[in-house]
Homo-oligomer: A and B are copies of this chain.
């Protein structure tokens, strides 16, 4: 079983419709288990619940908030179907952990699910994948100076190769453009599927790093969209932002599969700290 399948393994539902999984520090970044992994776990529980009630199972949209950081140990997912239509099912899903005997909510999200094979054709408009050097010519985590961040469990679960053209920030020279491109696959080369694309959307370093931010970049809200079943192999990913004001920025992620098809995209509002700049340094 792949590392990812092990990480989202669930038991349930119990007689109240809840599913139980286990978070591990193998997926932690800094002090917290990565929110993208919790999204994938919650989406898996929701798909199972929807399937059991005759609904749809492919994630189309996931809009969520992170209420408190997840930690290693048992986690419970509480999916609830709100509406089942002919072509889509709408649901809510909460995740909780017990802390000192008290149930603490980690995430809450609204999801719509459908059948992605229905939306494959015709393609009336498409965004081409960005051009970049092949993975073997793009630096990976092992090429970065070791820091507490790069030794996090989460970082080890992926093989991420960043386009050298957008890597200045890692050398102390952020471009100020607010853009990052690169390749991604799981370290054990398990191929991505619609649910794990949600995890992939939140797996790159924050685009705020390309604007000079160096610290923690907490997510205010995250909405991910899965647009197609991904083909096997490397994914190409691009992060960008266009409005950065008062420490708030939107981070847009786009993912293309190995055939060049855009298969997922997301937007998150995030809060970042930026070093003080003189007007002359403005990158507006």
Of B63, B223, B245, B269, which one neighbours A126 at CB under 8 angstroms? B245
Tell me whether A118 and B65 are in contact (CB under 8 A).
Answer: no
Of B110, B125, B247, which one neighbours A109 at CB under 8 angstroms? B110
- With A112-B220, A245-B120 as given contacts, are A178 and B125 in contact (CB-CB < 8 Å)? yes
Tell me whether B269 and A243 are in contact (CB under 8 A).
Answer: no
A122–B213 Cα distance when bound, in Å, is: 14
A256–B247 Cα distance when bound, in Å, is: 19
Tell me whether A127 and B242 are in contact (CB under 8 A).
Answer: yes
- With A65-B110, A244-B124 as given contacts, are A223 and B220 in contact (CB-CB < 8 Å)? no
Number of copies: 2
Query: Interface with B: A31-39, A82-90, A191-199, which one?
Result: A82-90
For A, the interface residue count at a CB cutoff of 8 angstroms equals: 57
Tell me whether B124 and A274 are in contact (CB under 8 A).
Answer: yes
In the complex, chain B residues whose CB is within 8 Å of the CB of A269: 60-61, 112, 225
Query: Interface with B: A7-15, A142-150, A181-189, A276-284, which one?
Result: A276-284
Is residue A241 within 8 Å, beta carbon to beta carbon, of the partner chain? yes
In the complex, chain B residues whose CB is within 8 Å of the CB of A221: 60-61, 63, 110, 112, 223
Main SS at interface, chain A: strand
Tell me whether B244 and A65 are in contact (CB under 8 A).
Answer: no
Tell me whether A124 and B245 are in contact (CB under 8 A).
Answer: yes
In the complex, chain B residues whose CB is within 8 Å of the CB of A127: 242-243
In the complex, chain B residues whose CB is within 8 Å of the CB of A247: 119
In the complex, chain B residues whose CB is within 8 Å of the CB of A108: 82, 92, 110
A278 to chain B, nearest CB (A): 11
* Selected A-B contacts with CB under 8 Å, 28 pairs: A61-B220, A63-B63, A63-B64, A65-B110, A67-B82, A67-B90, A68-B83, A82-B108, A92-B108, A110-B110, A112-B221, A121-B245, A123-B244, A123-B284, A124-B277, A124-B283, A124-B284, A125-B176, A125-B178, A125-B242, A125-B243, A125-B245, A125-B249, A125-B283, A127-B242, A221-B223, A223-B223, A227-B248
Please list the residues of chain A having a beta carbon within 8 angstroms of any beta carbon in chain B.
Answer: 60-61, 63-65, 67-68, 82-83, 87-88, 90, 92, 105, 108-110, 112, 118-127, 176, 178, 211, 220-221, 223, 225, 227-228, 241-250, 262, 265, 267, 269, 271, 274, 277, 282-284
